[in-house]
């Protein structure tokens, strides 16, 4: 019987094993002591496994490589994933109509749906085991060498070794060494879905405050994110920040400080604020500007802006000087933050970078260099925003790679 080796027992590796042909002997090699350790931590242990987007809309949310991810995501959709889970006895729900979680709100239910299916298929697991080297001859992987020097012959190898995010949960980036042994390029791994640290120190005073509908952009780059923004003791976080963080991380490799612009409320643009200030001047002239602004943004933020614009001098709506009004509107719609660094891989949810997609066939996830090598999941240079996109990619890419098309 032919032998299929899968490196990694995370979502992509488990999905690959389940979709693999029945006439293969399947082994999963995992460096940690059990499967899916990172999966258990996702969504605060609740596991936002996917979302309810249509697949065309789903794909559009990925900033890069949309054509590359299309075959995997169309062959194994979010509906397919939810149907599989239901068949395994795990019901899922989207309470907000978008984010999909297990009904139990337990990530362990997702993990064991896949793990138990693997056990039913008699898939053999090897925990606390690392692949040290690939033994390659004539553009074919003949065998792998384990860290204990054991040599295992194989017919197919799928690398689902993940990235470098959350090293406390076991991520090491060791899989990249194997990728390079196979002759593939690695796009520089960078932290993604990670908090950002600002040169500005005032966010510390607002730590814990959330803006529910902020908008963030990097000047001169056509990429904008919307959603919650959370102020932290070191800067900013929240979905709107996390979704743009990988791009900021890349920009930080090109320059020491990256400027981003924040709109406190995405529904209020410059014209709306101009109209609002005029209405205040006309109908609420005797009211303090602080009081009026606090109807739209939290009081702590009002105080910060007021200090920066008015140097704490009080103004009523009918005597606010034009320069100050203009500055208020500018800061409310394009507040500049200067990012000095990310919180790093130790706090990152995903990795941007990895196997160069140009060297992988998107229709099979087969190496363009080595015919019996496939890739799946975070080890590939694919990263999406918050909201179940990255887990769906892991399951979809694992499922496609596991079919070992092209053999």
Domain that residue 309 falls in = 284-332
Evaluate whether 119 touches 112 at the Cβ level (below 8 Å).
no
φ, ψ (nearest 5 deg) of residue 175: -60, -30
- Compute CA 171 distance to the chain's CA centroid, rounded to the nearest angstrom: 15
pLDDT, position 173: 86
Q: Which parts of 80-218 are beta strand (E)?
A: 92-93, 99-102, 124-126, 131-137, 140-146, 151-153, 156-159, 186-192, 196-198, 210-217
Segment 72-79 shows an average pLDDT of 98
pLDDT of 308 > 90? The answer is yes
Evaluate whether 334 touches 305 at the Cβ level (below 8 Å).
no
Are 168 and 26 contained in the same domain? yes
Are 50 and 160 contained in the same domain? yes
Are 322 and 395 contained in the same domain? no
Are 143 and 156 contained in the same domain? yes
Report if residue 271 sits inside a domain.
Answer: no
CATH of residue 198? 2.40.30.10
φ, ψ (nearest 5 deg) of residue 219: -55, 140
Domain count, the chain: 3
Q: How far is residue 405's CA from residue 379's CA, in Å, rounded to a whole number? A: 19
- According to DSSP, the residues that pair with 211 across neighbouring strands are 229
Q: Encode pLDDT of 103-142 as tens digits.
A: 999 999 999 999 999 999 999 999 999 999 999 999 999 9
Average pLDDT, the chain: 96
Are 252 and 302 contained in the same domain? no
Report if residue 278 sits inside a domain.
Answer: no
pTM over 0.75: yes
Are 81 and 200 contained in the same domain? no
Are 180 and 85 contained in the same domain? yes
Are 300 and 367 contained in the same domain? no
Are 183 and 205 contained in the same domain? no
pLDDT of 161 > 90? The answer is yes
Angstrom distances, CA of residue 57 to CA of 230, 290, 389: 26, 41, 11
Are 302 and 315 contained in the same domain? yes
Helix extents (H) in 148-264: 175-181, 239-252
Evaluate whether 309 touches 327 at the Cβ level (below 8 Å).
yes
pLDDT of 63 > 80? The answer is yes
Are 150 and 232 contained in the same domain? no
Q: How far is residue 39's CA from residue 179's CA, in Å, rounded to a whole number? A: 23
Q: Encode pLDDT of 49-62 as tens digits.
A: 999 999 999 999 99
Residues whose CB is less than 8 angstroms from the CB of residue 231 and which lie 6 or more positions away in sequence, other chains included: 203, 206, 207, 208, 209, 210
Helix (H, G, I), strand (E, B) or coil at 12: helix
Q: Encode pLDDT of 312-322 as tens digits.
A: 788 999 999 99
Q: Which of 332, 336, 341 is nearest to 261 (CA)?
A: 336
Report if residue 274 sits inside a domain.
Answer: no
- Compute CA 202 distance to the chain's CA centroid, rounded to the nearest angstrom: 27
Segment 291-312 shows an average pLDDT of 92
Burial class (CB in 10 A: 0-12, 13-18, 19+), 97: exposed
CATH of residue 354? 3.50.50.60
Q: How far is residue 239's CA from residue 211's CA, in Å, rounded to a whole number? A: 11
Q: How far is residue 316's CA from residue 42's CA, in Å, rounded to a whole number? A: 48
Q: How far is residue 182's CA from residue 141's CA, in Å, rounded to a whole number? A: 8
Query: Confidence band (pLDDT; 50, 70, 90) for 170?
Result: confident
Are 138 and 214 contained in the same domain? no
pLDDT, position 220: 85
pLDDT, position 387: 96
Report if residue 115 sits inside a domain.
Answer: yes
φ, ψ (nearest 5 deg) of residue 104: -75, -15
């Amino acid at each position: 019987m032919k032998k299929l080796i899968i490196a990694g027992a995370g979502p992509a590796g488990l999905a690959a094993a389940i979709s693999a042909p029945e006439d293969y002997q399947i082994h999963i090699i995992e460096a940690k002591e059990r499967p899916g350790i990172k999966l258990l931590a996702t969504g605060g242990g609740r596991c936002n496994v996917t979302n309810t987007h249509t697949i065309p809309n789903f794909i559009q949310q990925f900033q890069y490589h949309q054509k590359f991810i299309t075959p995997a995501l169309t062959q194994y959709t979010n509906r397919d994933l939810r149907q599989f889970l239901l068949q395994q006895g795990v019901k899922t729900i989207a309470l907000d109509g978008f984010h999909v979680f297990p009904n139990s709100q337990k990530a362990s239910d997702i993990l064991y749906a896949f793990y138990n299916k693997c056990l039913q298929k008699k898939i053999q697991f090897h925990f606390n085991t690392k692949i040290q080297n690939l033994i390659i001859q004539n553009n074919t992987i003949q065998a792998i060498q384990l860290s204990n020097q054991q040599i295992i012959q194989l017919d197919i190898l799928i690398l689902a070794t993940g990235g470098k995010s959350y090293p406390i949960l076991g991520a090491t980036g060791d899989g990249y060494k194997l990728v390079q042994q196979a002759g593939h390029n690695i796009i520089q791994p960078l932290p993604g879905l990670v908090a950002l640290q600002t040169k500005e120190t005032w966010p510390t005073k607002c730590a814990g405050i959330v803006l529910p509908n902020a908008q963030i952009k990097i000047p001169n780059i056509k990429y904008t994110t919307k959603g919650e923004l959370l102020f932290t003791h070191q800067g900013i976080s929240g979905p709107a920040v996390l979704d743009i963080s990988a791009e900021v991380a890349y920009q930080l490799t090109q320059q020491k400080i990256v400027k981003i612009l924040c709109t406190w409320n995405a529904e209020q643009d410059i014209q709306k604020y101009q109209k609002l200030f005029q209405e205040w001047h006309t109908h609420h002239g005797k009211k303090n500007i602080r009081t009026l602004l606090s109807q739209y943004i939290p009081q702590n933020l009002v105080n910060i802006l007021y200090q920066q614009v008015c140097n704490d001098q009080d103004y009523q709506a009918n005597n606010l000087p034009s320069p100050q009004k203009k500055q208020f509107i500018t800061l409310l719609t394009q507040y500049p933050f200067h990012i000095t660094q990310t919180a790093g891989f130790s706090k990152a949810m995903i990795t941007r970078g990895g196997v160069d997609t140009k060297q992988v066939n998107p229709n099979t996830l087969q190496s363009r260099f080595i015919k019996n090598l496939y890739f799946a999941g975070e080890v590939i240079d694919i990263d999406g925003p918050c909201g179940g996109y990255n887990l769906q990619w892991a399951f979809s890419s694992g499922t496609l790679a596991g079919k070992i098309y092209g053999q």
